[in-house]
Structure 1
Amino acid sequence: MRTRVRDPRLALALLSLPSLLIAIDISVLGVALPRMAADLRPSPAELLWMNDIYGFMVGGTMITMGAIGDRIGQRRLILYCAAVFAAASAIAAFSTGPWMVIVTRAVMGVAGAAIMPASMALIRQLFPDPKRSVSAMGAYMTCFLVGMAVAPVIGGLMIEYWWWGSVFLLGVPVMLLTLVVAPRLLPEFRAPAAGRLDLRSAALCLASILLVVTALKLVVNSGWSWRPVVVAVVGAALGAVFVRRQNRLDDPLVDLFLLRRPGVARKMWVLFLTALIMGGTSMFWAFYLQSVQGLSPLRAALWLVPSMIAMIVASNLGPWLGRHLPPSRIVLGSLVLMTAGFAAYTVIPPGRSGILLVVVGGALGTAGIGAAFPFLMNDIISHAPPERAGSAASLTQTANEIGIAMGLVVLGSVGTVVYRSRLTESTGHADGSWVDGFSRAADQHDAALLQHVRDAFTSGFRAVGFFCVAVMAIVLVLHVVRSRRPAVATGAQRDG
């Protein structure tokens, strides 16, 4: 069922407001967490859950919420979840204990997981023309990125003049505005013959994703041990049961047939692999600027601004170029740009000059993904039947979430292996991670050890750059093969 809308541009602007807020909410907690910890006095485990629960619930429930939107209507789902998000935000602002923050953040994560895929599905309905749809996706992504960029500044100002709970109140007026205006500006769209939601599939999906992401977080926080391996195996087994069940159901939670459509599986792999290396390198950025170069958190954050600007500009420049050039060429050029950015990490020089090369590499990488992402997302959603648009959008976003989490583990492991090898060569022994190395050198006030740790970490960063270039080579092959196949098929049809 579809309803008409008077002005798609106003509808897009309204859809972008919640995405801006959700992005701010993802990033702002890092600024508020120290004050919250001092006030609420959480245990180490509670502090970890306060920080991570939002991302866990976004990744774990996005597929289910996308399927719900296809069944009850995308606009209706946005309205319901905007109300829930506003209420949870208001309660979180006045939390009296860590458990209140954890519960309300979990609820906000579920609501955010529903709003994003529903918004993307509606964008596809608002702009059926492929070129306009890509431009709309670029504008939507720009709002999300602006939210990520301004969150630390906004959060810092609010905490400076008010209390930590004020950062949660940002969501209340925006979501209330959405509740008032959305029925007038947004179209409604849902599957004309929506089936029942399979609760068993929803439970399997949630449990599988949460267990896999939990295992990855355990590896990042505590290193490899039997515990994360067991958790990952159980999560993967439940995931296999989930996939098997989807193939047997007449009305599955996720239509896996979408992945069999020409080129869709390859696009999903491109999104997953680029999310993996983008998410993994972000960790090295922070340690390189602060621990290796000795910059303060504020100065390090300022060096991140060029990358954010590059991504915002590219996410709008790419769709503009799409009006004049074939999308496959733009995506190819964007992926090559990303590869050049990661190649810069492989030759990081010692000293202050390394900052410039790292910043240039980061700007090239973020510009590449910023230009390619709207095309890739729009292409996947356009391949899905209209009644499954929400599920398709949620599937791609889940691939991104898992890719980022896995990137922290995979690239972190690569960097750790090289770090330990290099530190052993220079000092004769190495145990623990570079975090331990930096802490030990600082505690002992050992300038020589600190320099050895910095050199070893930089070597690990260079190795991560080589790994990313290798992954991008695979991504480029996937894209080129995907782009050529339709042309070959078209030629064969003409010959016939």
Structure 2
Amino acid sequence: MTAGRLRDPRLALALLSLPSLLIAIDISVLSVALPRMAADLRPSPTELLWMNDIYGFMVGGTMITMGAVGDRIGRRRLIVICAAVFAVASAVAAFSTGPWMVIVTRAVMGVAGAAIMPASLALIGRLFPDPKRSVAAMGAYMTCFLVGMTIAPLIGGVMIEYWWWGSVFLLGVPVMLVTLVAAPRLLPEFRAPAAGRLDLPSAALCLASILLVVAALKMIVNSGWSWQPVVAAVAGVGLGTAFVRRQNTLDDPLVDLSVLRRPGVARVMWVLFLTAMVMGGTSIYWAFYLQSAQELSPLRAALWLTPSMIAMIVASNLGPWLGRHIPPSRVILGSLIVMATGFLLYAMVPAGRSGILTVVCGAVLTTAGVGAAFPFLMNDVISHAPQERAGSAASLAQTANEIGIAMGLVVLGSIGTVVYRSRLTSSTGHADGSWVDGFREAGSQHDATLLRHVQEAFSSGFRAVGIFGVAVMVIVLLLRVARSRPAN
């Protein structure tokens, strides 16, 4: 371990938050730029899918490996190296001349982003050793990430309006250059005192298993159930099992799974996974409900969703503040109850325009609940890991979050589709495809009666998803109560 020339941990936190803001923007901004990129680069449907998805694939697939790399070579060093890589890849992506150039550079940016996030979270725990200050710092870091997600469409829209689509990638260059210059001066360095060699077979198994599972889930969401995603999922689970067994036999594993055997940590990981699953799964319903079921314009729908993003940003700072005045276990429990109440509102969405207010209130409660609880949950995982494994623990928690979101899209999407088809069949006599197909067919035929039936069937599916969300939150609350009981 080497000491950095740390002057003010708040300045260091601000520096760590800058890349997280950029990474969040980069996750969302491509959806705004994609139409212009497609018109210019003329990708095939498969290339277009990879242009959109490769960044998230690489973030999820390499995060565990990159967390382990940071523990071994030094977290500050890894942040500096990956900031440089991200800047170069961003500049190249901005001047791409073909779809595969975008795909390759976005893949490199995904790996760099996957390295920066767990290294930053691990350093936050070192910068703020006091648990209450550490949770507050986690909340501030999360706020920057959420702000990036919120403003990405606006920034992307403005830049594409006045410049060309490549300008959205150039956002990364100045931010990462600032990180390159300031990190050696503001951040402390830490690496495992007796860092072993990186086990490359473990890294390959980890990458392949996560990519296969996430790809299978995305295929199910995009194209429905077929033999291809099933085979991919089975192969991914098999490789994941081999990865876990290998970690248990190595003297210096890629990820220290023994952290899961520490009191309460496995339960916290399940809470992170399950809350991510229900949040990710219900997110696909918001836009369809407002735009298709309630026939609002995209702008009006976006304005109705703004309160939920504001609630999440406020809660991610309010939760840590409350944790300094009352026991954190109560803050987490209260936040999870708030989330459960939000899903209960989804389960009670009424017909007509009043449903808009119910859905928006549900979104505010669910996002506020997860925003307040997340800093505590992440700190629980990282603080229970040895300092030399903190980066690995942070990446493990983040990966559980990523897979939970992908799983939620499949599970909750399937539940909503089954209920939608059942309700539409009972009212019209037949139902083929998903609600997306139903809304498209009703719109193309200008059939007001069919549209009303599709809207009612979709709303029934949304209510069913809300009921499932409540059931999952009951399990989460039981896990949390079981986690808190020994401490009391």
| TM-score normalized by the length of structure 1 | 0.98
Cα RMSD after superposing both structures: 0.6
- Residue 40 (structure 2) aligns with: 39
* In 2, Cα distance between equivalents of 1:191 and 1:320: 32
Letter in structure 2 aligned against 1:451: R
Question: After the TM superposition, which residues 46-445 of structure 1 pair with which residues of structure 2 at under 5 Å, given as runs?
Answer: 46-445=47-446
Q: CA deviation at 1:485?
A: 2.1
* In 2, Cα distance between equivalents of 1:435 and 1:82: 40
1:3 paired to 2:3 = yes
- Residue 490 (structure 1) aligns with: none
Q: CA deviation at 1:302?
A: 1.3
SS in 2 for 1:132: helix
Q: Deviations over 1:343-372 (max 9, x none)?
A: 000111111111111000000000000000
* In 2, Cα distance between equivalents of 1:30 and 1:275: 21
Letter in structure 2 aligned against 1:253: L
1:478 paired to 2:479 = yes
* In 1, Cα distance between equivalents of 2:388 and 2:2: 10
Q: Deviations over 1:128-151 (max 9, x none)?
A: 000000000000000000000000
* In 2, Cα distance between equivalents of 1:302 and 1:401: 26
Q: CA deviation at 1:294?
A: 1.1
* In 1, Cα distance between equivalents of 2:20 and 2:60: 16
Letter in structure 2 aligned against 1:3: A
SS in 2 for 1:248: coil
Letter in structure 1 aligned against 2:171: L
* In 2, Cα distance between equivalents of 1:35 and 1:298: 19
Q: CA deviation at 1:218?
A: 0.5
Unaligned runs of 5+ in 2: none
- Residue 457 (structure 2) aligns with: 456
- Residue 19 (structure 1) aligns with: 20
* In 1, Cα distance between equivalents of 2:10 and 2:236: 42
Q: CA deviation at 1:222?
A: 0.4
The 4+ residue runs of structure 1 with deviation greater than 4 A are none
- Residue 492 (structure 1) aligns with: none
Q: Deviations over 1:270-291 (max 9, x none)?
A: 0000000000000001111111
Q: CA deviation at 1:2?
A: 3.6
SS in 1 for 2:248: helix
Q: Deviations over 1:85-124 (max 9, x none)?
A: 0000000001111001100000000000000000000000
* In 2, Cα distance between equivalents of 1:102 and 1:294: 35
Identity %: 82
SS in 1 for 2:195: coil
* In 1, Cα distance between equivalents of 2:466 and 2:329: 25
Q: Deviations over 1:195-219 (max 9, x none)?
A: 0000000000000000000000010
* In 2, Cα distance between equivalents of 1:289 and 1:30: 19
* In 1, Cα distance between equivalents of 2:394 and 2:304: 32
* In 2, Cα distance between equivalents of 1:478 and 1:357: 28
